[in-house]
Amino acid sequence: MVAVDIIFAPIVFSALVYFFTRGAEQFAKYIALGWFIVLFIIALSWYHQLPEDGWLFLGNYLSVPQFGFELTLQIDALSVAMLLLTAALLILVVFTSWNEKKQGAYFSLLIMFSGPIFGVFMTTNVLWFFMFWELTLVPMLFLVGIWGEENRIYAAIKFFLYTHVFAMFMFVGFYLLYKQTGYWDLTLIKETALVTPALIWWLMFIGFAAKLPVFPFHTWLPDAHVQAPSSISVLLAGVLLKMGAYGLIRFTVELMPITTMHFAPWMLGFGLATTFFAGFLAIYERHIKKMVAYSSISHMGLVVVAISTMTYDGLSAALYEMIGHALVISPLFLIAGWLHHKTHTWYMDEMGGIMKKAPYASAIFILAGMAALGLPGTMGFVGELTIIISAVKAYGWWIAVIALAGLISAGYIIWSVRRAIHGPMSPVVEKADFSMSLPEKFALAVYAFLIVYFGVNPQPIFDLANQAFSWLGGM
């Protein structure tokens, strides 16, 4: 019963939290923190219960046999990886938004968000998957729209509409899938030895591509990420984008391998285009948070490349990079947003010399930046290395051009450090007061630790990946 509760309880619970903490808003964050820790522990216990291969069955609810529609909850290693990541990021988000205004509402929305996002990764029923997928947008709409920066409303509505519109393509794809197989359940569909028409594949791909986001469906992301409060950018980049990659693995690779094999070159093309296009955009960008946002897109392009290989090792690399991307890009977003709050400017060339006044944040920024450009000893390197090895194995030597992504990312990261962190102190920085609260420092330290820890010792994540994709072993 736990399984279904942790999806639906927070949705109901969040309203209660809101109304009960109206007098004492600061309690909301402790409730949220406690709840997210509980989520993490539950996810961890599932991790230990996972069978050697296949699914851990968690329950079956709300059955509608006539429509093959029921809330089937079962998880495998891939889902568990995503659940652990989500829970961990949620915990850290509480710390990084410790001093957020209107806390009652803010943390209730976060609690509310935790329900559907867990649902997305836990259910194998396609229709429920879609329902949770859409539902995650609602708290995000408010979190971006109310707590965001100056242009927040435009960004929130663009984000909501854009992803909603593209989800509709995916939804038609799901419909056609059901029509063809007669099942809503992934595991059952998989057994029907599906030969899917190109139409279904493309409809789904577009849906996931917009979420990932893949060039040219990416324009919602820079706006949403920039305007969102930094902690929410973390969730957007760390969790919401992962939904797209997760869907891509679950629905295209696992469900219709033959069709995907057929369209893998397209996927590869989209992935490469995303990586390079976004990389160049990041180089051109003066706006610090936008630069980080484009960097985020660029890295997700690599994930698409890895997924398109459709091999055991390629998908493992993709999973690693998904987690790595979440942990690496988050501190960058946090610090970018934090710098904006302190200096009141977005532009890197107006900052400069921040190292002197805020050495801690600068050090973490450099560390995370190094991870973003793939420096060994960090998660970024392992991700990039494993992806490039798998890609060469799948596509031949020419794909080694994706190593260039490492140069492009070095370009924007180092240049941004040069402009914002190093250099003589600018007047803007001189005036600013760079104090950072303890919880924020703590969260950043945790990110830094995780980046390095999993960069040096990546095997735990690969163990999960091996478990998740072992069925591809023979291919």
Partner 1 sequence: MNNAVMILMYMPFIGAVLAYVLGKAKKELAFWVAEVVGGILFLASLVIFFKYSDSPIDITLPWIKYGDIEIPMKIYIDHLSIVMLLIATGLGFLDIHFAHDYMGEDPDQPRYYAKVLFFIGGMILLVITKDLIGAFVGWEFMGLASYLLISFWYYKHSAASAGMQAFLYTRFGDIFILAAIAILFYYAGTIDLIKLNEMANTGELNKTVALVAALFIFMGAIGKSGQFPLYPWLMNAMEGPTTVSALIHGATMVNSGIYIVARLFDFFSYTDALYVVANVAALSAFIGATSALVQKEIKKILAYSTMSHLSIAFVGLGVGSLAAGMLHLVNHAIFKALLFLSAGAVIYIAHHQKDAWKLGGLIKTAPFVALFMAMGSLSLAGVPPFSGYFSKEMVVAAAWEWGNGFTKTFVTIAALLSIAYITRLWILIFLGEPRHEEIGGSVHKPSNLWMRLPLGILAFTTLFISIWQSDIIHYIVGDEVVEPHVAGLAAFMLTAMLIIFLIVVGLYVKGLNLLYKIGSHHFVQTIHQILFNGYYVEAMISWISKNIVVGAIAASARWFDTYVIDYVVNKTVDMTKWVYNIFKRGHTGQIGSYMGQFVLGVAIIVILILIIIKGL
Partner 2 sequence: MSFIILIAAGLLVPVFYRNNIIIAKLIAISAFILSMFFIYQGQSLVGLFPGFAVDSATKLMEYVLLVTLAAVTFSLTGFERPLIAQMLFLAGASIAFLESANFFLFIVLFEVIAIISYILVANIRNFYNAEGAIKAFIAGAVASGVILLGFALYSFTTTSFAYIDMNVHGKFTLIAVAIMLAGIFYKLTVVPMHGWAADAYSQVNHAAAGILSGVIKSVVLFATFKAFYKFLITYPFATVLIFAFFAIITMTLANFMALWQKRISKILAYSSIAHSGYALIPFAAATSIYSYSGILYYAIAYIFMQTSVFLILNDLRRELGVKYLEDLKGLYKKAPIHSLFFTIQLFSLAGIPLLAGFLAKAVAFYAGVDVGLWWVVLIALLNSALAVAYYVWIIKHIYMDEPNNFETISISTGSLIGQLILLAGTIYFGIIGADVFNATLP
Using CB under 8 A, list all residues that contact partner 1. Answer: 158, 162, 216, 218-220, 277, 280-281, 283-285, 311-317, 320, 353, 355-356, 366, 370, 373-377, 381-382, 384-386, 388-393, 397, 399-401, 403-404, 406-407, 410-411, 414-415, 417-418, 421-425, 458-459, 462, 465-466, 469, 472-473
CA distance 211 to 157: 15
Q: Is 75 helix (H, G, I), strand (E, B) or coil?
A: strand
Q: What is the DSSP string of 201-214?
A: HHHHHHHHHHHTT-
Q: Which does 142 bind (CB under 5 to 8 A by kind): partner 2, partner 1, none?
A: partner 2
Q: Which does 397 bind (CB under 5 to 8 A by kind): partner 1, partner 2, none?
A: partner 1
Q: Which residue has the tokens 């990764």?
A: 121
Quote the least distance from Cβ 461 to partner 1, whole Å: 9
64, β-bridge pairs: 69
Structure letter (DSSP) for residue 377:
T
| Helical packing angle, 438-456 and 359-372, nearest 10° | 30
Based on CB atoms, which residue is closest to partner 2, 131 or 410? 131
Return d(Cα 189, Cα 340) in angstroms, integer.
Answer: 48
Q: Could you tell me the two tokens for 285?
A: 């960008």
Which two three-digit tokens encode residue 394? Answer: 């799948």
Q: Is 145 in the site for partner 2 (CB under 8 A)?
A: yes
Cβ-based nearer residue to partner 2, 56 or 157: 157
414 binds, among partner 1, partner 2, none (CB under 5 to 8 A by kind): partner 1
The torsion angle over the Cα atoms of residues 275, 165, 174 and 251, rounded to 10 degrees, is 20
Among 37, 44, 131, 366, binds partner 2 (CB under 8 A): 131
The answer to whether the beta carbons of residues 211 and 220 sit under 8 Å apart is no
Are the C-beta atoms of 400 and 387 separated by less than 8 Å?
no
Nearer to partner 2, 131 or 375 (CB): 131
**211 touching partner 2, by CB under 8 A:** no
Helix, strand, coil percent values for the chain (each to nearest 5) = 80, 5, 15
- Written as six digits, the tokens of 54 are 């296949």
289 and 447 in contact (C-beta within 8 Å)? no
Contacts of partner 2 in 147-186 (CB under 8 A): 152-153, 156-157, 160-161, 164-165, 167-169, 171-172, 175-176, 178-179
Indicate which of partner 1, partner 2, none lies near residue 400 (CB less than 5 to 8 Å, by partner kind): partner 1
Q: Which does 299 bind (CB under 5 to 8 A by kind): partner 2, partner 1, none?
A: none
Residue 145 interacts, among partner 2, partner 1, none and using kind-specific CB cut-offs from 5 to 8 Å, with partner 2
In the chain, the amino acid numbered 67 is F
R_g (Cα) of the chain, nearest Å:
21
CB of 314 to partner 1, least distance (A): 7
Per CB under 8 A, 121 contacts partner 2:
no
d(C-alpha 212, C-alpha 194), whole Å: 25
Query: Is the CB of 161 or the CB of 456 nearer to partner 2?
Result: 161
Question: What is the per-residue binding string for partner 2 in 68-87, x denoting contact by CB under 8 A?
Answer: -x------------------
Nearer to partner 1, 208 or 381 (CB): 381
- Give the whole-angstrom CA distance, residue 308 versus residue 315: 8
Binding interface with partner 2 (CB under 8 A): 11, 15, 62-67, 69, 127, 130-132, 134-135, 137-138, 141-142, 145-146, 152-153, 156-157, 160-161, 164-165, 167-169, 171-172, 175-176, 178-179
